[in-house]
Structure 1
Amino acid sequence: MKQIFPSHYFLLPCLILLLLLATFGFVAAQQHTQAPSHEYVSTGAIKGIILTSDGKPVEFASIMLKGTSKGDMSSEDGKFHLRNVKEGTHTIITKYIGIPDQEKEVTVIAGQTSFLKVLLPTSAQQLNEVVIIDKKSANQKPVSVGKIAIDPMDLPQSTIIIEREVLEQQQALHLSEVLQNVSGVYQMGNTGGTQEEIASRGFAMGSSNTFKNGSRFNNGVMPELTSVEKVEILKGSNALLYGNVAAGGVLNLITKKPKFESGGEVSLRAGSYDLYKPSLDVYGAVNNSDKVAYRLNTTYEKANSFRNIVNSERFYINPSLLIQATSKTQLLLEADYLKDNRVPDYGLGAINYSIPDVPRNRFLGATWANYEAIQKTATATVTHKLNNAWTIKGVTSFQEFSKEEYGTGRPSSTNIKGDGTFTRSLQQTGIFEKYYLGQLDVTGNFSTGFLKHNLLIGADVDRYRTEVPTYAIFADRSNPQKASTAYDVINIFNPETFASQRTDIPGTKILTTAYTPINRMGTYVQDLLHVTDKIKVLAGIRYSYQRTNSGTAKKYDAAFSPRAGVVYQPRKATSVFASYANSFAVNTAISVTGRADLPPSIIDQYEVGVKNELFKGLLSANVTAYRIINSNVAQLILPATANNAFELAGTTASKGLEVDLMSKSIRGFSFIGGYSYNDTRFIKSSVNVEGSRLRYNPAHTANASLYYTVTGNNKLNGLNLGFTSFYIGDRLAGRSTRTNVANDTWQLMPLPDYFLFDTHIGYTLNKVSLRVKVTNLFNQLSYNAHDDNSINPIAPRQFTTTVSYKF
C-alpha cells in the first residue's frame, strides 16, 4: 500500500519544533533565574518580599528600579530579586492593581545583597475585594472530565479550560463562540440552523463526545450557556475514560454550583434582530444552614434572525442543591430543563455543487415550518473522602431528549435546477431518547518504594432507549387520503414565486417506530507514576462492552482501549510528553453475512507535545502534534452486493499541529491565542478517491483575544475592553468523490475561508454592569455546510447589549 503521508515526514519536523520550544523555554528560564557567571565589583543585588498590612504575601506585584528599565515581578510567596544593580542608593517602585504606587529607598553595596520588605497599605481581604486574580495558570487547572485531578503539566495530553470570565466578557450566546478560543476545535456544520455540529482534529464530536458535569448530553439542540461556569476540552483519545468516543476529544460543560453565601445576578440582554434575553441567577444557604446550599439559574430567549421568516424562542431552568452531609461526604443534586422552538432553516441550497448568488437573508423553507426540542437532565453526585489520600465518587444521571421537525426538504444539487427552480417536498422527522448512566470512581495517592502513584479505578454502565418514528405525509391536495410529499415549486432567484407558495400544513401520521435499546458497560484502571520529580509515566486500559438491539437482531461489540504516555520535565515550568492511545467506533452496517456483525473500527492516536509556563506562570504556551490513523474504516464492497454489504477495508489519516497561548491578568491585560493545522484524508479506499480530503475540516484555524480592565483609584475604574479575532480556513462540503462508480455525479464543494473580528466594551459601577458587543465587525460572508443541502451563511454584523445587577 502506498503511503500518502509517511509518518516520519510528519513527525520529524514536529519533534524538531517541540525540541526547539522546550529548549527556548529552558534557556529563557535559566536566563531569568540564574545569576551571571561573572560578577562586576561595582554592582550588587536586591532581594525583597511584598506583604499586605496583615502579613500575607502578594503575588504579581510589579517592582521597578526607578530611572531604569530593570524590574521583576513578585512570586507566589511575594518574593522578588533584582540582580546587577549599580552601587549606591536607589528608589524601588512597587506597583499593584488598585493600590497606589509605593516607593522605598534601598542602598546597594558592591558584591553584597540588600534586603527590602514592602508593606502594601491593605489587608489580604481588602486586596481580594480590589481585584480578583486567579493564581492558577492554564497549565495548573485539572479538568474534571478527566475523572482524576492530574496536574496538566503531568498529563501527556492537551487540555483547555475557558472560564466564566471569558464567557461574560465575550457575551457568548452560542457554544461555537466559546470554542473560537480553542485551537483545533471548530464548528463543522449547522444542520437546519437547529444545532451546532462541533469537530476536533478531523472527527465529529457527536453526543457521545459532549458532556455536562461529566454526563453525556444530546447535542442535537444548542446548549444553554447562561448557567455554564466553564467549558473544558480534553483533546485526543479518551476511550479509556468514556468508551466509544470519537478520537478528536471530549467537551464538558460545567454548570454553576450552589454557594453558602447569599447573592445572585439579574440581567437583560438585547440585540440585533429583536433579540431579548432576561436571565436570573440566585444562590445561598437554605435557612442560613452550613449544610445545605442552593442555586437557581433561569432564562428566556426570543429572537428573530437575519434570515427572513426564521425566529426562535427558548426557555431554560437549572436548579441545584448541595448537601454537606458530613465533613467527608458531599451530595450534589443538579437538574435542568430546556425547551427550544425555532424555524428550521437549511440555508441557500446548492446548484451543481456551487453556492448560488442569492441574498444572505433569503429563506427557502415553508413559512410554517417548525422545530421543537425538549431536553431534561437530572444528576446526583456523591463524593466521599475516605482519608486525605483516597476518594470515592459516584455519579448517576438521567436524560430525556425529544425532537420533532416538520417542514420542506433540504435544497440541494439534486432538487434545484440551473435556472433556480426548486421543487419542494415535505419531510418530518423525530427522535425520542432516554439515557441512563451509573458511574463509580475510586482515586488515590500512595507510594510503593520510590514510585509515587496517582491511581484511578472505575466502572460505568449506561443505556440508551431510542425511538425513531417514520411518518406518512399527505400533501396531495386533489387526494388528501393519498400519501405524498410533493409540495410546490419556487424559484430561488425570483422572490415573486415566494408570494404564491403554498402555506397550508398537510396532515401526517406515524407509520412505524424503530426502537433501538443500547446497553454499555466499561471497567478501567489508570495510574500516573511519578518515577522521579522529572519523569512521569501514565498508563491504563479499559474494557468496553456494548449490546445493541435492532428489531429482533442483537449485536455485541467489545474492545480494549489502552493508553500510555511519558512526561519529562527538565524544569518545573516545562513539560515534554509523548503518548499513544486508541479508541473504537461501533459499525452498524451489514456485512457479507447479511447481518450487522462488523467488529468495531480501532483508531490509533499518537501525540507529542510541550507545555511551557513562561514569565513565572504569567503565560502558558503549549504545542501539540498528533497523528490519528483509522486503518479499518467500513467501506462498501464493490461491485455492490444485493444488500449493499460493507467490509473493513478503508484507511483514513489525520495529522496536525496545535498551539495554545493563555495569559494571566497582568496590569489589567490578558490574552488568549491559538493556531491549528489539520489534514485528514482517505489513505486507502474502495469507494472514495485516495488522497482526497475529508469534508468539513478546515486546514487552518487561528484565534486571538485581548482584554483590558482598568483598575485603580481613577474615574475609569471598572472599564473593560476586548477585541477578539478568529480565522477558519478553507473547507470542503458536497459529496466525497468516489471511484469505481459508473456515471458518478458527486462532487466536493469548496467553502471560502474567513476572518471574524468582534469588539466589546463594558463598564461596572458598584453592582451594575453594562456591556456592548459588536460581532463580525467587517461583515464577512462565508458558510457552514452539511453535504450540499444545508448551506447556511454566517451571521452578518450584529450588536448586543447586556445590563446586569449583582446582589
Structure 2
Amino acid sequence: DGLQLKESNFTLFTALDSYGAERYEILRGPASVLYGQASPGGIINYVSKRPTEENLREVELGAGSFDRYEGKFDFSGAVNADKSLLFRLTGAAHTGDTQTDFVEDDRIFIAPALTWQPDADTSLTILANYQRDRSGWAMQYLPAYGTIRPGKDGKYLPNSMFVGEPDFDTYNNDQASIGYELDHRFNETWQVRQHARYVHLKHYEEGVFGGGLLNDEGDYSRYADAGGTRLSGFTIDNQAQADFDTGPLAHTLLLGLDYKRYTYRDYAASNDMPGDDFNIFDPVYGYPVGEMTPYTDTDTTQSQVGIYAQDQIKLGNWRLTLGGRQDWADAKVHDNLTGAFDPRQKDDAFTSRAGLLYLADNGLAPYVSYSESFQPVSGPDSNGNPLVPETGKQYEVGLKYQPVGWNAFVTVSAFDLARQNVVRYGGVGAPNDIFQTGEIRSRGIELEAVASLDSGFDFRAAYTYLDTEITKATSITVDDDSGETVSDEGNTPF
C-alpha cells in the first residue's frame, strides 16, 4: 500500500496472502526517490482490497494436490444509506501437505477495512490484517547426484525427498498490521495525502539441512539451524500534490516527507551434527539434533527520515519527469552474545531520477530514463566493520507501442544497472560470514506483450535476459572475485 514492509535477517513480510490483494504493482529499477530505501532491482507494491459502494458477497471452497483444502470469503458494501461509510471483510484459510514429505502448510488470514467519506473531497480508509502461518521447510538442499543425473545403481531420488528431521522442522510466522490512508482535496490545484501503518511480526524457524554429498553410496552430511525474529515498526508518509500550468507546460508537482522506525531482534543457533549417518538413498530419521550453539543474537533499532519532490511535466506529446530525494538514516545494534554495542551508523544520501518520453500519434512511445537507489544496512561484517549502505544506478532506454484500435501493449527495453556495496552471506568454509561486494553490474533486455483478444482471452508474454557480473570486489573471503558471475543472479532468460 505504498509503505515499506521491513525485512530482517531471517524473514520479511513478503508472504501476505494473495487473496487479500486488489492488485500488484511492479515498479522496476531503483525507486528510492518516491519510496525511500529500496532494492535497486525495483519494488512490488501489494495493494490491499478496499471497501466498495456496491454489495459484494463471495465465498470460495477448494481442494487440491497434497490433501490441500481451502476456504475464502470476501464481503463488502455500504453501512449506511448515503454510502458515506463502507466496509470490507476478507478472509482465507488453507491446510494441507506439500510436495515434500513430512512438511505441512497451514494458514489463516483475515483483513478488515473501513472507509469514511464525509464529502466528495475527503476520504479516510482504515486497513488491517492478521496472518498466521504454520509450516516447515519444503525447500530441500539436494545434490545433482540422484536428481538431475543418476545416482547409486542408476536411481533417482523422489521429488518428495526430505533430508531433514520430521521432529525438528518448523517455519512459523505471525504477523499483523493496522494503518490508515487519509486523502483530502482543497481545490482544483492542491490535494494532500497521509498514509501510516504499524506492523508487528513474530517468526521462528528450525530445521536440519543437507550440507553435501560425502560419497557415491549416498552418505550425506547434515547440519541443524534454528532462529527467529521479533519485529515492530511504524511508517508514515505525507504528500502534497499540486496540478497547475505555467504557460504551455502542465505540471503535476509532488512534495513529500516520510518517516519510518523499526525495532527487531534476530537470534540464531546451529549444530554441525557430528556422527550423523544419513543416507539419501536409504533415509532413516530420528537422529538427535543435540545442543545448539548460538552464533547471532542482536537487537536493532533503525530509523529513517526522507524529504522528496517530483515534477511531471507535459508539453504537447512530450513527457518529462524530474525528481530528487534526501534521506537521513540511523541504526543502532546491540550484540546480546557479547554485551557490546556495534558502532552507531548514521548515513545520508541524495538520490534522483529523470525520464523523458515522447507519445507519437501512431502509438509509439520511445523513452529514456535514469534513476538511483539508497538502502541502509545495519550491523557489522564478519571482520567487525560497519556495513555501508547499498546504492544503485540504472540507465534505461526503450520503446512502448500501443497499436491504434487494438487493446494491446508492447514494450522493449535495454538497461544497465550497477549496485554498490551488495551484502552477501557465506563463503568458502564459512557459511555464516557476512561481507559486501564492491559492485555488481546487471545489463539486459526485456520484452513484454499484453493483449485482450475478441474471443475473450487475454494474452501475455515476457522475455528477460540478464548478464550479471561482479565488477568490483571487496570480498573478505577471496582476494579478487571481479568478473565472476553472481551465482543467484546469472543469465536468466524466461
Change (3 A) 1:668 1:267: same
Aligned to 2:33, the other structure's residue is in SS state helix
* C-alpha contact 1:425 1:487 (8 A) present in aligned 2: no
* C-alpha contact 1:605 1:627 (8 A) present in aligned 2: yes
Report the TM-score when normalising by structure 2.
0.86
Distance in 1 (CA, whole Å) between partners of 2:141 and 2:380 is: 35
If you compute each CA radius of gyration, which structure gives the higher value, 1 or 2? 1
More displaced stretch, 660-669 vs 484-493: 484-493
Instruction: Give 1:581 shift.
Output: 1.3
Aligned to 1:245, the other structure's residue is in SS state coil
Which of residues 621, 624, 627 is equivalent to 2:410? 621
Distance in 2 (CA, whole Å) between partners of 1:316 and 1:591 is: 37
Aligned to 1:614, the other structure's residue is in SS state coil
Aligned to 1:691, the other structure's residue is in SS state coil
The alignment covers a number of residue pairs equal to 465
1:558 maps to 348
1:411 maps to 210
Q: Does 2:162 align with 1:363?
A: yes
Distance in 2 (CA, whole Å) between partners of 1:635 and 1:417 is: 29
Change (3 A) 1:592 1:402: closer
Distance in 2 (CA, whole Å) between partners of 1:528 and 1:669 is: 35
Which of residues 371, 388, 393 is equivalent to 1:581? 371
* C-alpha contact 1:372 1:403 (8 A) present in aligned 2: yes
Q: Does 2:462 align with 1:674?
A: yes
The AA in structure 1 aligned to 2:164 is: G
1:463 maps to 261
1:543 maps to 326
Which of residues 664, 667, 676 is equivalent to 2:452? 664
Change (3 A) 1:487 1:263: farther
The AA in structure 1 aligned to 2:91 is: T
List per-residue Cα deviations over 1:759-795 (Å, max 9, x = no partner): xxxxxxxxxxxxxxxxxxxxxxxxxxxxxxxxxxxxx
List per-residue Cα deviations over 1:155-206 (Å, max 9, x = no partner): xxxxxxxxxxxxxxxxxxxxxxxxxxxxxxxxxxxxxxxxxxxxxxxxxxxx
Q: Does 2:298 align with 1:514?
A: yes
The AA in structure 1 aligned to 2:356 is: V
Distance in 2 (CA, whole Å) between partners of 1:652 and 1:512 is: 27
Higher strand share: 2
Change (3 A) 1:367 1:417: same
* C-alpha contact 1:310 1:344 (8 A) present in aligned 2: yes
* C-alpha contact 1:680 1:697 (8 A) present in aligned 2: yes
Aligned to 1:240, the other structure's residue is in SS state helix
Aligned to 1:241, the other structure's residue is in SS state helix
1:701 maps to 493
Distance in 2 (CA, whole Å) between partners of 1:659 and 1:248 is: 17
Distance in 1 (CA, whole Å) between partners of 2:170 and 2:381 is: 38
1:91 maps to none
Which of residues 206, 210, 232 is equivalent to 1:434? 232
Matches within 5 A, 1:458-497: 458-471=256-269, 486=274, 488-495=276-283, 497=284
Report the TM-score when normalising by structure 1.
0.54
Higher helix share: 1
* C-alpha contact 1:424 1:487 (8 A) present in aligned 2: no
Change (3 A) 1:293 1:588: closer
Change (3 A) 1:655 1:505: closer
* C-alpha contact 1:374 1:402 (8 A) present in aligned 2: yes
Change (3 A) 1:572 1:288: farther
- Percent sequence identity over aligned pairs: 25
The AA in structure 1 aligned to 2:230 is: F
Q: Which has the higher contact order (CA 8 A, sep 6+)?
A: 1
Instruction: Give 1:385 shift.
Output: 0.8
Distance in 2 (CA, whole Å) between partners of 1:629 and 1:608 is: 15
List per-residue Cα deviations over 1:221-262 (Å, max 9, x = no partner): 522111212111011110101222111110011122111222
Which of residues 523, 530, 533 is equivalent to 2:307? 523
Aligned to 1:424, the other structure's residue is in SS state strand
Change (3 A) 1:343 1:580: same
Change (3 A) 1:282 1:585: closer
List per-residue Cα deviations over 1:65-114 (Å, max 9, x = no partner): xxxxxxxxxxxxxxxxxxxxxxxxxxxxxxxxxxxxxxxxxxxxxxxxxx
1:568 maps to 358
Change (3 A) 1:667 1:360: closer
Q: Does 2:241 align with 1:241?
A: no
Matches within 5 A, 1:367-382: 367-368=166-167, 369-382=169-182
Q: Does 2:484 align with 1:692?
A: yes
* C-alpha contact 2:273 2:290 (8 A) present in aligned 1: no
The Cα RMSD (Å) is: 3.0
The AA in structure 2 aligned to 1:604 is: K
Aligned to 1:701, the other structure's residue is in SS state coil
* C-alpha contact 1:381 1:395 (8 A) present in aligned 2: yes
